[in-house]
Chains A and B, each alone.
Chain A
């Protein structure tokens, strides 16, 4: 899309663009370039100088069982977060959409967690399930279930998924509700007159009409689970136990800052860069399609 009307000259637009260009160059392109550059070096054992290894870091990473495990962990984690947060949100949105009055009130109530930082969400859930003082874990103990996410890998994963999904429900709920409310009443009423029961109506009419929203949310939630859940993981499990919750972004951090392995961390950054690139392309393909709807 282009404007028909334009102003002349190049000095003014150059001045206007300057701040963004400068900031982006210094704090974005330079570091991104550095990441690519560093990904091709390894420090010598004394840390005095670095040695060029070409794609060696990548080769090493892709053969590293820990890195591969982290890939798998990320896949499981993001799938679960996406499915759980979207499922709960869709359920609530369908209920809220049934109300003529009051859906706004519920929306206001359900919007809260969006404002809660992932790291804070992590602290809240860690508190509930804390092995010493947690309320939920204590009641689970009464029921004979010995909750310990510090030692149990599956429970650790379950907890970070729950905390991450919890913070995401609001966002998905808003989009699903908007999507549902955008479906013309008359279409659904026509189906009702045709004799379709609730579930049939949902399956044959609502769900297909909602699919653009669903697809969009899937991509966005995967991106969220990949990159924005660092705070949840760091506060609840620190990637443990036995790296069971070390997702890729967490590994970039722990290898780079905790392990001081800059070459490997940079190579991981580059791989993530690539992953984000693919996700963004998918998202834009989708947006384009939507424009032509």
Chain B
């Protein structure tokens, strides 16, 4: 039998080359993260006299506790709390209002339904980055600068989740709704008892995607949180670099970078199944 390499399975040397290629890829992907981790465990002098070491040092606890509890402008623990509130606010808020509006759009006929659908749908197109100046002015007029609601609301105002739930609701068999009607369920009873439990997987998937979206926001918090105590961790890192020629406190900055990755990475890895399903379903 002749040997076929490639997508037809085979053993032997080619098999190991495949692993080798992937391992190189993984190392390449991990190298920046590894380097940041190493930098967060050594001292400032070790970094500023290049080349810095490539293996972790012994100052892990020192650097991380310095970052967490004193930071540069604000303690990183506080910034993480801000990030967490923002990410959860966006995630939960968006899921709730999207479930409600998707339910209304899919399961009811009322005047203006199509218009509402398209109005909401239009918002799919516009990332907050495009409308930052006027949105900033709205938030400023409402006195919502340096507040959680100012961080959260403008980022809820998009229809991605509504659209996803709509797509999912459309796949729920009509017979289930009919069975519920024959069983005497009211619209809201149908929503609570049947639609919501059936959406659990989608909600979980969306939770992951939105949490990362919220946690990783940069430009918006940069604009509206001028008070360091309201900074989120992702935007706060950049604020830790001194202006001018002063030397950055690299170990603390890198410790903060690692800390900024930990929550979203935990969420992604632990909910990998939902996340992949949600991602691939949602973009189809």
**In the complex they form, do A and B come into direct contact, defined as C-beta atoms under 8 angstroms apart?**
yes
Q: Using CB atoms and an 8 Å cutoff, list the residues of chain A in contact with chain B.
A: 1, 3-10, 12-14, 16-17, 19-21, 23-24, 26-35, 38, 88, 91-92, 94-100, 102, 106-121, 123-125, 127-128, 132-135, 138-139, 166, 169-171, 174-175, 178, 180, 188-189, 192, 197-199, 201-202, 206, 216, 220, 227-228, 230-231, 234-235, 249, 252-253, 256-257, 262, 265-266, 269, 272-273, 276-277, 280, 287, 290
B-chain residues with CB within 8 Å of residue A256 when the two chains form the complex: 132-133
B-chain residues with CB within 8 Å of residue A132 when the two chains form the complex: 48, 50
Q: Are the CB atoms of B215 and A134 closer together than 8 Å?
A: no
Q: Are the CB atoms of B234 and A12 closer together than 8 Å?
A: no
B-chain residues with CB within 8 Å of residue A28 when the two chains form the complex: 123, 126, 131, 154, 157-158
- How many chain B residues touch A (CB < 8 A): the figure is 104
Q: Are the CB atoms of B21 and A19 closer together than 8 Å?
A: no
* Stretch binding the partner chain, chosen from B58-66, B69-77, B107-115, B199-207: B107-115
> Interface of chain B, helix or strand or loop or mixed?
helix
Sample of 17 further A-B pairs with CB below 8 A, known A117-B217, A123-B253, A175-B283: A13-B104, A23-B153, A24-B119, A31-B138, A97-B7, A115-B212, A119-B234, A119-B237, A135-B54, A180-B7, A230-B218, A253-B132, A256-B132, A272-B130, A273-B131, A276-B130, A280-B124
Cα distance A249–B132 when bound, in Å? 10
A-chain residues with CB within 8 Å of residue B169 when the two chains form the complex: 3
Q: Are the CB atoms of A110 and B25 closer together than 8 Å?
A: yes
Among A35, A96, A128, the residue within 8 A (CB) of B35 is A128
B-chain residues with CB within 8 Å of residue A111 when the two chains form the complex: 268-269, 272
30 CB < 8 A contacts A-B: A3-B107, A5-B174, A5-B178, A6-B107, A10-B110, A19-B101, A20-B162, A23-B157, A24-B120, A27-B156, A34-B134, A35-B134, A98-B7, A114-B212, A123-B237, A123-B253, A124-B33, A133-B52, A135-B54, A171-B279, A188-B7, A231-B218, A231-B234, A249-B129, A253-B132, A273-B125, A273-B130, A273-B131, A276-B126, A287-B284
Q: Are the CB atoms of B174 and A3 closer together than 8 Å?
A: yes
Contact (A124, B257) CB under 8 Å given A114-B268, A280-B124: yes
B 204-224 contacts with A by CB, 8 A = 212, 215-219, 222-223
Q: Are the CB atoms of A139 and B51 closer together than 8 Å?
A: yes
Q: Are the CB atoms of A169 and B177 closer together than 8 Å?
A: no
A-chain residues with CB within 8 Å of residue B103 when the two chains form the complex: 16
Which residue on chain B has the smallest CB distance to residue A141?
A: B50
Q: Are the CB atoms of A198 and B174 closer together than 8 Å?
A: no
Contact (A262, B133) CB under 8 Å given A110-B29, A117-B218: yes
Cα distance A20–B284 when bound, in Å? 24
Q: Are the CB atoms of B261 and A120 closer together than 8 Å?
A: yes
User: Across the A-B interface, how many residue pairs have beta carbons closer than 8 Å?
Assistant: 315
Which residue on chain A has the smallest CB distance to residue B103?
A: A16
A77 nearest CB across to chain B (Å): 15
A284 nearest CB across to chain B (Å): 9
Among A1, A116, A197, A228, the residue within 8 A (CB) of B170 is A1
Q: Are the CB atoms of B127 and A227 closer together than 8 Å?
A: yes
Cα distance A106–B100 when bound, in Å? 38
Among A13, A124, A133, A230, the residue within 8 A (CB) of B32 is A124
Q: Are the CB atoms of A92 and B269 closer together than 8 Å?
A: no
Cα distance A121–B108 when bound, in Å? 45
A-chain residues with CB within 8 Å of residue B51 when the two chains form the complex: 135, 138-139
A-chain residues with CB within 8 Å of residue B181 when the two chains form the complex: 5
B-chain residues with CB within 8 Å of residue A265 when the two chains form the complex: 133
Kindly supply a per-residue 1/0 record for chain B positions 128-156, scoring 1 wherever the CB is within 8 Å of any chain A CB and 0 otherwise: 01111111111000000000000001101
A68 nearest CB across to chain B (Å): 19
Contact (A235, B8) CB under 8 Å given A110-B29, A166-B32: no
A-chain residues with CB within 8 Å of residue B170 when the two chains form the complex: 1, 3
Contact (A216, B174) CB under 8 Å given A123-B257, A135-B52, A138-B50: no
Cα distance A166–B264 when bound, in Å? 17
